[in-house]
Amino acid sequence: MKKVAIIASGETMDVAYKVLNIANAAATMDVAVTVFCTFGGLRLLFKDPQYSIIPLLEPFQDRLQTIPAIAELRESAMDLGVNFIACQMTMDLMGITSADLIDGITTAGAATFMEDALDADSTVTF
């Protein structure tokens, strides 16, 4: 089975959509996907991820209502078996606890992610 490793470190709406779009696309192609969420990327895993619209997306604000919400794309990814890992070091640094995150999230360090990344066919960073 092919594998892809994704690093999510950006905290903006466009980054969240990119990460989840790639993760869902790969998972639907029977690719094993691991997403390592660190720094701003941890927002993807919050129970209620809130994103402000960024200037890049302002011209498309009306169209954003026609695509799935970030939480919906995340749920779809999880249903497809995407493995999300929350960076423990970043959580400690930022005072984030497992209670702040949705259920079913692994918390681990970079070494755990590297086990998947070193075996992956592709690694993508956002």
Residue 84's domain is classified under what CATH number?
Answer: 3.40.1260.10
Label residue 20 by pLDDT band (50, 70, 90): very high
pLDDT band for position 74 (50/70/90)?
very high
- Cβ pair 47, 88 in contact under 8 A: no
- Neighbour-count burial for 100-114, b at 16+ CB within 10 Å, e otherwise: ebbeebebeebebbe
Domain count of the fold of the chain: 1
pLDDT level of residue 15 (50, 70, 90 thresholds): very high
- Burial readout 42-64 (b: 16 or more C-beta within 10 A, e: otherwise): bbbbbeebebeeeeebeeeeeee
Average pLDDT over every residue of 82-100? 97
- What φ, ψ does residue 101 adopt, rounded to 5°? -105, 160
**Domain range enclosing 49:** 3-125
Q: Give the model's pLDDT for residue 115.
A: 93
